[in-house]
Amino acid sequence: MKEVTLEIDGKEVKVKEGTTLLEAAKTVGVEIPTLCYHEKLEPYGACRICSVEIKSGNRTRLVAACVYPVEEGLVVNTKSERVAKTRKMLLELMLARAPSAKKIEDLAYEYGVDKARFEKESFFCILCGLCVRYCAEVKKKNAITFIGRGTEREVMFIPEIASRECPSCQECFDLCPTDGLRANFLLAQALTF
Amino acid sequence: MPKLNQEAELGKLRQDIVSKRDPNKPCITICSGTGCHAYGSEKVASAFMEELEKQGLGEKIDLRRTGCHGFCERGTLVVIYPEETCYLRVQPEDAPDVVQSVREKRIIDRLLYTDPITGEKIVRESEIPFYKYQERIIFGDNRKIDPQNIDDYIALGGYSALPKVLFEMTPDEVLTEIKKSNLRGRGGGGFPTGRKWESTKNAPGEPKYVIVNCDEGDPGAYMNRSLMEGNPHSVLEGLIIGAYAMGSHEGFIYVRAEYPLAVDNVRLAIKQAEEHGLLGENILGSGFDFKIEVHQGAGAFVSGESSALMTAIEGRVGEPRPKYIHTSEKGIWDKPSDLNNVETWANIPFIINKGVSWFNSIGTDRSKGTKIFALVGKVNNTGLVEMPLGATLRDIIYKIGGGIPGGKKFKAVQTGGPSGGCIPEAYLDSPIDFDELTKLGSMMGSGGMIVMDEDTCVVDVARYFLNVLRDESCGKCVPCREGIRQMLRIFNRITEGKGEEGDIELLEEISEVMRDSSLCALGQTAPNPALTTFKYFRDEYEAHIREKRCPAGVCKALISYYIDPNKCQACMICLRDCPAGAIEGGKNLIHVINQEKCTKCGTCLEVCPPRFDAVRRMSGEPIPVPIPQEERVISRKEKQ
């Protein structure tokens, strides 16, 4: 495969064509935060926390590093003001949704989200879909899924499959960035299995 | 119907159809588009059919149920050819009279259009101002064609671009024509169609797919629907030509299931085209094969987004893909897939037939051709309007739309649905094309145009569109899902009188992040209605937030109704009509609104006789204390 040269935070990077910006950044020690990314899963591009600023020609724009493939001569800035501002807002939004999620709290602290300007919700889940995708892509069981659309979207165990598959697996629990999944499972088990 | 095997056979069929049709034979056409259907055009058509039988005129007068004519405000529309006499608001009861009048070559005055200014009656459809100022190209044949009869389309020259392409042009030549035409996508973004085709054509991978996007979902927009229902063959012809140019042998038509008539008509059209050898294997004996499948969408607005639509065709939940690769290169099952809007496809046969220079002579510098708009809202003539790009908003709203009803003042026009914005009066003379609307912070979208008068609260409008998207976002990415949730919350607060200083700035901050980082165009453009209203109507937001006042008198939490004791004649009308029983008083007792009970429905204001004019809607000012009980008695002079 062809090799591509690009610049990430001022560092020259040489990687194979088809590599994502996230993977390319890792090779030169540039850390990009992620929430919905997992190396065993297809990139999902939903949390947008990995947004980075790219420059091609005179245009700059934000892209999700977990999905965007490297390009020859691309200039990537993972720490620009625009990136920081975006991540900060995204974290503020997620924090309002799931105020007790440890991982979100930590990231929020790192990005200086000090005040909560939004009304808090009491969800446990940030809908990163790691559990749903892990179950579908790795375990191939589809015991957990998304239901609903828009702001009503949520994650739900499918009782018929989950009652059969989940008790002996539970591998997705450790992937969850919010601890909400175990509680969700126990609740589903108590109510529907 | 034996399959047509050669170009010549199609020409002969056309001649046969035309020669059997006497242009002087009277034909009653009844609009059966969506608007007229809702007015009961089905019953009107049956009444006409019965009446023709009854008067023994079945052989002498033709009856044709056509697609949407466009002047939906005045349905059911009936046009009688060859005179082109246009009757509006026709009811089943009018059938006997109309049928008789056709026989007697007489005109029924009461059903004609009356010019609101001169009071003059207008007979011919094309002379009614609503139609007169339009330039109907794509939409023009809708009113002449029975969409369920392929002969009608063929008789008017339909399917003449197809053989021209198949027998006289190479696929590359077709592509070059479309590129040179500068046609831009009619579905939203206005991307050059030729470039999109080229990218699919050149992308590696087989098979290639071509797709019609009929997932129209903007509130108030129905032009794609009317075209698909009214002239499906024009879309099919465009699609087949595109397939030939791109080397595709399989196409999809994605129609939302809420458009049952469009689904039926396009399915029937496909069947008829196949029977005629215009679709399927070896089209017209040219050796080119192409088949089409209809896919019904399950009603998701987001499925109009190209990658979501393709995911839905694959049989999965219609959610946009995060990949940074165009669907024209990797679309359905990762194969090159070209997706164009209904109206874009319908443009193709015209460009092939009439040529690139003709097409380039219409429109503005960078936006060529015409565009169909759904003109709705607070405008006298609502309906579907086709205009050359570059026409002004004023032309459309005033010349064609007949201005604002009830002598009210124009306030804004919302274009582009939930992704578009509100354009104020100052820009009424702006030419409408893709770039101008984007410059104003709005967008063309698929052509929805909602006119608003002074009684519309723009804060409420922006809130409304966010509320639409709350349901319609797929909910996958954080900026769109959570951004909409929080924006809507703040909007709700503002309209409830709980807005705070800094709310606008916070909304702007969320908007910027949504624009910058959302996964698909739905989320990226979701803040547009809010942002344009901040830009053009900031003072109204400030009135809501600072003065707790809704200048348009719409936001219920910020308004009150008050009866002026000096004007009230204790006539009992409002007291009786108040659905909340909130009005106190009685005969000869001045009426007073109990503000605790009042639901702010506005009935009292509506029913108070204009000569009394006693009810007032107030906002942002304290309601005067009710006058004491003892002063409420009215002593009237005894009648002599």
Instruction: Report the chain A residue with the minimal C-alpha distance to residue B488.
Output: A151
Q: Do B184 and B333 fall into the same domain?
A: yes
Q: Do A87 and A144 fall into the same domain?
A: no
Within 8 A by CB and 6+ apart from B445, the residues are B188, B218, B221, B415, B416, B417, B419, B420
**Cβ–Cβ of A46/B322 closer than 8 Å?**
yes
Looking at residue B572, what is its pLDDT? Answer: 94
Of B472, B516, B519, the CB nearest to A150: B472
Looking at residue B220, what is its pLDDT? Answer: 86
Domain boundary among A100, A123, A146: A123
Identify the band that residue B637 occupies on the pLDDT scale cut at 50, 70 and 90. low
Q: Which residue has the tokens 């039988």?
A: B53
Residue A1 in contact with residue A50, Cβ under 8 Å?
A: no
| Residue pLDDT, tens place only, B497-550 | 999 999 999 999 999 999 999 999 999 999 999 999 999 999 999 999 999 999
Interface confidence, given as ipTM, is: 0.95
Instruction: Report the chain A residue with the minimal C-alpha distance to residue B486.
Output: A118
Q: What is the CATH number of the domain that holds B90?
A: 3.40.30.10
| Residue pLDDT, tens place only, B573-605 | 999 999 999 999 988 899 999 999 999 999 999
Longest Cα separation, chain A: 57
Q: How many domains are there within chain A?
A: 3
Of B322, B476, B513, the CB nearest to A89: B513
Q: What is the CATH number of the domain that holds B492?
A: 1.20.1440.230
Residues B206-213, mean pLDDT to the nearest whole number: 96
How many Cα atoms within 13 Å fall on the side-chain side of residue B185?
Answer: 21
Q: How many domains are there within chain B?
A: 5
Q: Do B452 and B465 fall into the same domain?
A: no
| Distance (Å) from the alpha carbon of B516 to chain A's nearest alpha carbon | 6
Residue A186: both structure tokens together: 């126990």
User: Mean pLDDT lowest for which of B2-11, B435-444, B618-627?
Assistant: B2-11
Q: Do B306 and B175 fall into the same domain?
A: yes
Window 15-44 of A: residues touching B by CB (8 A cutoff) are 43-44
Within 8 A by CB and 6+ apart from B14, the residues are B154, B155, B157, B160
pTM comes to 0.92
Q: Which helix (H) or strand (E) holds B338?
A: strand B337-341
Identify the band that residue A121 occupies on the pLDDT scale cut at 50, 70 and 90. confident
Nearest residue to B458 (alpha-carbon basis) of B510, B485, B490, B423: B423
Nearest residue to B522 (alpha-carbon basis) of B282, B273, B244, B319: B319
Q: Do A17 and A71 fall into the same domain?
A: yes
Q: What is the DSSP letter of B568?
A: -
Q: State how far the Cα of B600 lies from the Cα of B503, in Å rounded to an integer.
A: 26
Residues B61-84, mean pLDDT to the nearest whole number: 93
Residue A150 in contact with residue B318, Cβ under 8 Å?
A: no
Q: State how far the Cα of A88 lies from the Cα of B540, in Å rounded to an integer.
A: 30
Within 8 A by CB and 6+ apart from B612, the residues are B567, B568, B569, B571
Q: Which residues of B touch A129 (CB under 8 A)?
A: 476
Instruction: Using the predicted structure, report yes or no on whether residue B345 has a pLDDT greater than 90.
Output: yes
Report yes or no on B354 lying in a domain.
yes
Within 8 A by CB and 6+ apart from B356, the residues are B177, B180, B181
Instruction: Using the predicted structure, report yes or no on whether residue B639 has a pLDDT greater than 90.
Output: no
Instruction: Using the predicted structure, report yes or no on whether residue B426 has a pLDDT greater than 50.
Output: yes
State whether the Cα torsion B461-B467-B473-B479 is positive or negative: positive
Q: Do A55 and A85 fall into the same domain?
A: no
| Distance (Å) from the alpha carbon of A15 to chain B's nearest alpha carbon | 18
Residues A6-25, mean pLDDT to the nearest whole number: 95
Looking at residue A99, what is its pLDDT? Answer: 84
Q: Does A51 touch chain B (CB under 8 A)?
A: yes
Q: Do A90 and A157 fall into the same domain?
A: no
| Residue pLDDT, tens place only, B454-492 | 999 999 999 999 999 999 999 999 999 999 999 999 999
Q: Does A93 touch chain B (CB under 8 A)?
A: yes
**Cβ–Cβ of B477/A48 closer than 8 Å?**
yes
The residue segments making up the domain with residue B32 are 24-81+85-123
**Cβ–Cβ of B510/A89 closer than 8 Å?**
yes
Q: Do B213 and B351 fall into the same domain?
A: yes
Q: Does B283 touch chain A (CB under 8 A)?
A: no
Of A43, A46, A61, the CB nearest to B478: A46
Report yes or no on B5 lying in a domain.
no
B329, B485, B493: best to mutate for the A interface, most A CBs within 10 A: B485
Looking at residue B1, what is its pLDDT? Answer: 67
Instruction: Using the predicted structure, report yes or no on whether residue B631 has a pLDDT greater than 90.
Output: no
Phi, psi dihedral angles at A170 (to 5 degrees)? 55, 20
How many Cα atoms within 13 Å fall on the side-chain side of residue B516?
Answer: 25
Q: Which residue has the tokens 């939302």?
A: B256
Q: Which residues of B touch A63 (CB under 8 A)?
A: 324
| Distance (Å) from the alpha carbon of B513 to chain A's nearest alpha carbon | 5
| Distance (Å) from the alpha carbon of B416 to chain A's nearest alpha carbon | 20
Looking at residue B410, what is its pLDDT? Answer: 96
| Residue pLDDT, tens place only, A29-83 | 999 999 999 999 999 999 999 999 999 888 899 999 999 999 999 999 999 999 9
Question: How many Å from the N-terminal Cα to the C-terminal Cα in chain A?
Answer: 50
Q: Do B377 and B314 fall into the same domain?
A: no
| Residue pLDDT, tens place only, B141-200 | 999 999 999 999 999 999 999 999 999 999 999 999 999 999 999 987 899 999 999 999
**Cβ–Cβ of B475/A149 closer than 8 Å?**
yes
Angle between helices B478-495 and A81-97 (to 10 degrees): 70
Identify the band that residue A98 occupies on the pLDDT scale cut at 50, 70 and 90. confident
**Cβ–Cβ of B324/A68 closer than 8 Å?**
yes
Residue B551: both structure tokens together: 């200048």
Q: What is the CATH number of the domain that holds B439?
A: 3.10.20.600
- Interface size A-B, in CB pairs within 8 Å, comes to 106
| Distance (Å) from the alpha carbon of A159 to chain B's nearest alpha carbon | 20
The residue segments making up the domain with residue A37 are 3-79
Report yes or no on B137 lying in a domain.
no
Instruction: Using the predicted structure, report yes or no on whether residue B640 has a pLDDT greater than 50.
Output: no
Residues B315-331, mean pLDDT to the nearest whole number: 90
**Cβ–Cβ of B486/A118 closer than 8 Å?**
yes
Residues B26-41, mean pLDDT to the nearest whole number: 93
Q: Do A98 and A59 fall into the same domain?
A: no
Of B302, B479, B509, the CB nearest to A48: B479
**Cβ–Cβ of B478/A51 closer than 8 Å?**
no
Report yes or no on B133 lying in a domain.
no
User: Mean pLDDT lowest for which of A103-117, B372-386, B395-409, B611-625?
Assistant: A103-117
**Cβ–Cβ of B517/A93 closer than 8 Å?**
no
Helices (H), B88-149: 95-104, 129-132
Looking at residue B7, what is its pLDDT? Answer: 79
Q: Does B114 touch chain A (CB under 8 A)?
A: no
Report yes or no on B138 lying in a domain.
no
